[in-house]
Amino acid sequence: MLKREDIIVLLSGGIDSTTLLWLSKEIFKKVYAISFDYGQKHKVELSYAKEIAKIANVEKHFIATIPHLKDLGNSALTDKNIEVPSENYTDEPPITTVPMRNLIFLSLAASYADVYGIENIGIGVHSLDSPYPDCRAEFVSSAEAAINASSIMVAKKKNRIKIFTPFLGMSKADIVKLGYSLGVPFEKTYSCYKGTEPPCGECATCRQREEALKILESR
C-alpha cells in the first residue's frame, strides 16, 4: 500500500503511544520515535520505550532530556514531596499534571522534525474531556500553529507540519481494541506513575490500564 510522508511519534512506552506507533507503521513511510527523560519518578518507562522502539524497528529512536522539570517540581510525577495519588481524576487539572509537558515535548519533537524533514508528529492524547489541559483538541491545534510558524522547513518549503492525533475522540478501551487488531505487544508496555516493578496497580494510570485491558478478556 502507498504510504504517505514520515512521522515522529512521542513514545512513553504505555498502551496509547505504543498503539499509535503500530498504527503509524501502517500509514507512514519512515517512522521515528522520541522519548523524554524529564525527571519523572517512573523513569523506568524509558527502558520499556527503548525495547518497544526496537521491536517496532523504527528508523531512529531519540531520547531527549529536560532537566529543569524535576527542579521545578509541583507535579506528583516529578516532585519527591508530592505523592502519586490513587484517587480518580476530577475536572480540574490533576496533581499529576507536569507544567507545559506536552508543549515542551511537542516543541522538542518538532526540532527533530524540522532537521530530519519529518512532516508529521504523532501524540497519543485521547478522550474528549481530558482533565489535562495539554491533552485537548484546542491545545493540539494551537501547538500545531506555533510549530508551523516557527519551522525552518515550513518557511523554506512552504509545506506544513501536522500533529497526528487519531485517538483524540477515543477512550482507552477503544485504543486497546485498535491495538489488539494491529498486533500491539501490550505485555511489553508500561504505564505506572509510581514507577515500581511490577506496577503498583493502585495509581490512576495503573487502574485505567487494567480497566481498558479487561476488554481483551472477553475475546
Task: Give the footprint of a copy of itself on this chain (CB under 8 A).
Answer: 62, 64-69, 72-74, 92-93, 97, 99-100, 102-104, 107-108, 110-112, 114-115, 133-134, 136, 138-139, 142-143, 145-152, 154-156
Give, in order, the Cα–Cα distances in Å from 151 to each of 31, 113, 119, 160. Answer: 20, 9, 11, 9
CB of 184 to a copy of itself, least distance (A): 28
- Rounded Cα distance between 143 and 155, Å, is 17
Q: Closer CB to a copy of itself, residue 112 or residue 186?
A: 112
Q: Closer CB to a copy of itself, residue 160 or residue 214?
A: 160
CB of 42 to a copy of itself, least distance (A): 19
CB contact at 8 A, 55 and 211 = no
- Rounded Cα distance between 171 and 173, Å, is 5
Residue 148: its H or E element: helix 137-150
CB of 50 to a copy of itself, least distance (A): 16
CB of 148 to a copy of itself, least distance (A): 8
Q: Closer CB to a copy of itself, residue 93 or residue 166?
A: 93
β-partners of residue 120 are 7, 162
CB of 162 to a copy of itself, least distance (A): 15
Q: Closer CB to a copy of itself, residue 74 or residue 196?
A: 74
Q: Closer CB to a copy of itself, residue 138 or residue 217?
A: 138
Number of residues assigned to the chain:
219
H helical segments located in 88-136: 101-116
- Rounded Cα distance between 168 and 175, Å, is 10
- Rounded Cα distance between 78 and 218, Å, is 37
Residue 29: half-sphere exposure toward Cβ, Cα within 13 Å: 8
Q: Closer CB to a copy of itself, residue 33 or residue 147?
A: 147
- Which DSSP symbol is given to 97? P
CB of 5 to a copy of itself, least distance (A): 18
Q: Closer CB to a copy of itself, residue 150 or residue 171?
A: 150
Task: Take residue 78 and report the three cell numbers written for it.
Answer: 516529578
CB of 141 to a copy of itself, least distance (A): 8
